[in-house]
Structure 1
Amino acid sequence: MVKLSRPFVAVLSALLLVLAVTSPARAAAAPEPPSQRYLVSGPKTPQQRSQVARTGAAIDAVRKDGSLEVSAIASELKAIKKLGYTVAALPSPQPYQRLATSYHTFAEMQAELDAVVAAYPQIARKVVIGKSYQGRDIVGVKISDNVAVDENEPETLYISNIHARERLTAEQTLDLIGTLTRGYGSNTRITNLVNSREMWIFPMVNPDGQVYDMTSDTQPGRMWRKNRQPAPTDLNRNFPYKWGCCGGSSGNVSSETYRGPSPESAPETKVLTNFVRSRIVGGVQQIKLFLDIHSDAEMVLWPFGYTYNDTVPGSMSTDEEATHRTIGRTLAASNGFTPQQSSDLYITDGTTDDWTWGDQRIFSFTFELGGGSFYPSPSRIDSLVAGTRDSLLTLTEYADCPYRAIGKQAQYCAA
């Protein structure tokens, strides 16, 4: 028998302990199979819906009877059942044929932006603000008179398709770009907006996810939500305000609401936050209104998502809450959606509009478009986006002084 010295035994024991602690099997759970779609019956209140969201499942829609359409992995499904709710599997989206009017691919979106800029060079300029994980451009347009000049005008920022499968959202922003450019010079309302605002519009801020989701012309898509990093991240849970604070996202890499290992860990998130920060000129944020377009729930939402409180000392005053609420209700009166604070739906954290308001003090909203699914038939695109067109223009009109909504422009926006 070989007799080991005590110092050698001590070193060996320490090494084995380190290997045990850092073993990949112990450091992270094995990935779970992809999520499936389910109908959850039973939750009725924001708190009950938040219970479901806290499992990590993505709540895709809230039906009129209160039941929830969710995307959940096996461990989340088990947790939902443990809450006492009834769960049933949902069928896959029905295939559709590609029509003359159909959803834009990423390449088609880029071509459309190029065509707009070529046709309206005085008021439209193509902008690339960064790259996705796989190296695709995060591209949009700036629309304003004197578009090549950074004028002292209120700015608005619109983004869409942050969740890859929410395909109608890109069509809505492309429609806005067309409305503003084609209407300039002939429509007084649009001409006034273009002359007095600087508008930044980004139709596909999750291009890798969008390309992956749009698998063929004869089926809706893969139901893909996140970006395409090796550990894919829900970009709308990765923003650096109240990140991971409140049960509104998941730390499980297999979850549809995986928030990433740290705030801004997704390159697409970082591109967006860097762009917004770049619009601080002379210490003042130039973007006055922000809109993140999602689907599918027919809602107008405003901050905060991380707390049920309407007001938060130092973060959301009574007048700030009233301004958000009044504008939100005005927009809903235009597009027929339901207006409410984001957390009235369920708790979320690390989201776009919680960050744009909570960190940057930009009045912020989310539209949840309609259509009945993430992939409405392409034959419905025109009518669906037309129903929301006016509300986008109305939101833009508030950029000069959002407090005008509550009659306090003299108090807050006097020169």
Structure 2
Amino acid sequence: MRTTRRTLTAAAGLLLLFAATVPASAQPPERGVYEISAGAQERVARAGVDVLGVRDGTLTVVASPAEVASLRAEGLDLRPVGDVDRVLAERNPDRRAAPGDFPAGDEGYHTYAEVTAELRQAAQDHGDVTALSSVGESFEGRALHLVKISDHVERDEAEPEVLFTCNQHAREHLTTEMCLHIVQRFTDSYGHDPVVTQFVDSREIYVIPTVNPDGAEYDIAGGRYQGWRKNRQGEGTDLNRNWGHRWGCCGGSSGHEGSETYRGTAAFSAPETKAVADFVDSRVVGGTQQITGHIDFHSYSELVLWPYGHTTDDVGEGMTPDQAQRLRSVGEEMAAANGYTPQQSSDLYVTDGDINDWMWGRHRILSFTFEMYPADGPGLDGFYPPDEQIRPQTERNDAAVDILLREAGADRA
């Protein structure tokens, strides 16, 4: 019998208790959770703190004592919500899982070894439409799996290509399940579901289920959640600040290695981002980029985001008003399908060196980020929804995925 874990509601109550018992004047914990009122997004982004989520203008962040002192010196009101290590201690069950597995009660999530096994099984069972390879290796030497799904999978056909990437941030395990669901849906249902069959016959679908396998494995080390975000290179690089378009330009990342939004020593200094970028670059055939649509899955907040992230202007450099409107229109249609909130990425807060800006800025790919379930959370626990949510929250995006596949075949704006 699976041990039932405490609910998010219970965790929320725990954090509210912390908020009531930890005065702002107390010594901040080493990793404190704080709420900051609306209007502070730019200053918070520049500080390099870990933004857990934004809801109705209120930011929930994790900050060190030095970061807390710096932000308060700027006049920001940081309301203590909890202590990360205490929250994780409460979140992790007393009964330890087997080393390398998810915490007891969350075994429905897939470890790297289990992801690998699932992908190999899909390629074996559906070899007529499925090919498994990799785009390269992670810092610690794990293969960055790449699945191709197409009716003539062994050939490079003149068909629109679509890429789905997941798990750039280590603790966002629900996103890996999203990419696995895409693989399973477009292989198991091929020849049975007419919508799936039509897309597999007319598109080349690529899926990278985990861009950050090292960080994801570290996050469940010892069968207990660690709250880890970055890769495992040195003190860790935030992979979604390491992409080459306007890298480090605009106060949307940190140059401090200990920061949760550390952008690395240079664009693509992380082997994971370089490997994925090299693959995307390789899809330029005869001077034309074959990948025309892309979704990068994250958690949490239930948002559909589109470029640009590095500027609050609706139309940035290299983007016409018509192109900006197309990004918005597709994003809004997908959000209507899955019930997320649509917005330009920088409306949340400014980021530079992110994957969507690079995909569009370099290749004019219709590129979006989906921030998955939950819509909001009590802080860090929002990254760890119960495994009972895997199926409903991945299936929830089926229609939105189909919209992108449809749009990938449309004429480029």
- Which bracket does the TM-score occupy, shorter chain normalised? 0.7 to 0.9
Aligned match of 1:213: 219
Change (3 A) 1:90 1:402: farther
Q: Does 1:139 align with 2:145?
A: yes
Corresponding position: 1:332 with 2:327: no
Is residue 2:51 matched to residue 1:59? yes
Q: What letter matches 1:387 in structure 2?
A: R
1:158 touches 1:173 (CA, 8 Å); kept in 2?
A: yes
Q: CA deviation at 1:215?
A: 1.8
Closer/same/farther in 2, CA of residues 232 and 207 from structure 1, 3 Å limit: same
Partner of 2:399: 390
Q: Which runs of 5+ in 1 are unaligned?
A: 1-32, 404-411
**2:92 aligns to what?**
95
- Structure 2 distance, partners of 1:402, 1:112, is 35
Aligned partner (choices 167, 170, 176) of residue 161 of structure 1: 167
Report the secondary structure of 1:140's partner residue.
strand
Deviations 1:147-171, CA, capped at 9 Å, x for gaps: 0100000000110000000110000
d(CA) in 2 for partners of 1:118 and 1:61? 39
Whether contact under 8 Å (1:72, 1:255) holds in the other structure is: no
Q: How much does 1:230 deviate? A: 1.5
Residue 320 (structure 1) aligns with: 323
**Which structure 2 segments of 5+ residues have no match?**
1-27, 94-102
- Look at both structures and tell me which one has the larger radius of gyration over its CA atoms: 1
> What is residue 263 of structure 1 aligned with on the other side?
267
Q: Take 2:358 and 2:244, find their aligned partners in 1: how far apart are those partners?
A: 7
- Residues 99/116 of structure 1: CA separation in 2 closer, same or farther (3 Å cut): farther
- Quote the offset at 1:99 in angstroms: 4.3
Which runs of structure 2 are paired with 1:356-375 in the superposition (5 Å)? 356-371=359-374, 372=377, 373-375=382-384
Matched position secondary structure for 2:279: helix
Q: Does 1:276 align with 2:280?
A: yes
Instruction: Report the Cα offset of residue 360 of structure 1.
Output: 1.3
User: Which whole-Å CA distance do the structure 2 matches of 1:61 and 1:237 have between them?
Assistant: 17
Instruction: Output the CA distance in 2 between the equivalents of 1:116 and 1:213.
Output: 26
Match of 2:236 in 1: 232
Indicate which of 345, 348, 351 corresponds to 2:351: 348
Distance 1:271 1:231 in 2: 20
In structure 1, the partner of 2:155 is: 149
Alpha-carbon offset, residue 107 of structure 1: 0.4
Q: Which amino acid aligns with 1:362?
A: I
- TM, length-normalised to structure 2: 0.85
Note the 1:71-220 alignment, pairs <5 A.
71-83=62-74, 84-91=76-83, 92-93=87-88, 94-95=91-92, 98-99=104-105, 102-217=108-223, 219=224
Question: Is residue 124–residue 143 contact of structure 1 (8 Å, CA) maintained in 2?
Answer: yes
State the identity as a percent: 42
Q: C-alpha separation between the residues in 2 aligned to 1:121 and 1:279?
A: 22
CA shift digits 1:302-331 (9 cap, x unpaired):
000000001124x11011001000000000
Amino acid at match of 1:383: P
Q: Is the 8 A contact 1:209 1:226 kept in 2?
A: yes
Tell me the CA shift for residue 231 of structure 1: 3.5
Cα root mean square deviation, aligned: 1.7
Name the residue aligned to 2:313.
309
CA contact (8 A) 2:247 2:352 kept: yes
TM-score w.r.t. length of structure 1: 0.85
Question: Cα distance, 1:202 vs. partner?
Answer: 0.6
Over 3 Å counting, the alpha-carbon distance change for 1:202 and 1:41 in structure 2 is: same
* 8 Å CA contact 2:29, 2:64 repeated in 1: yes
Indicate the residue corresponding to 2:25 in structure 1.
none
Q: Would you say the 8 A contact 2:111–2:217 is kept in 1?
A: yes
Q: Determine the C-alpha separation between the residues in 2 that align with 1:192 and 1:322.
A: 27
Q: Is the 8 A contact 1:246 1:348 kept in 2?
A: yes
Tell me, what secondary structure is at the counterpart of 2:396? helix
Once the two structures are superposed, residues 105-126 of structure 1 have per-residue CA deviations (whole angstroms, 9 ceiling, x without a partner) of 0000000000100110000100
Contact 2:68–2:78 (Cα < 8 Å) also in 1: no
AA in 1 matched with 2:136: G
Distance apart, 1:75 and its partner CA = 2.4
Structure 1 distance, partners of 2:353, 2:150, is 31
- Change in 2 beyond 3 A, CA 1:228/1:87: same
State the alpha-carbon separation in 2 of the partners of residues 79 and 205 from structure 1: 32
1:396 is displaced (CA, Å) by 1.3
SS of residue paired to 1:359 = helix
Q: 1:8 maps to what in 2? A: none
Residues 35 and 71 in structure 1, CA contact (< 8 A), matched pair in contact too? no
| Alignment match, 2:22 | none
**How many pairs align?**
365
Asked if 2 retains the 8 angstrom alpha-carbon contact of 1:251 and 1:260, the reply is: yes
The 3 A distance-change label for structure 1 pair 34 and 180 is farther
CA distance in 1, matches of 2:369, 2:41: 19
Tell whether 2:393 aligns with 1:377.
no
Q: 1:125 to 1:133 in 2, by over 3 A?
A: same
Are the equivalent residues in 2 in contact too, given 1:302–1:340 (CA < 8 A)? yes
Deviation string 1:9-51 (CA, Å, 9 cap, x unpaired) is xxxxxxxxxxxxxxxxxxxxxxxx9962412232x24xx2121
Kindly state the Cα deviation for residue 101 of structure 1 after the two structures are TM-superposed. 5.7
Q: CA deviation at 1:389?
A: 2.2
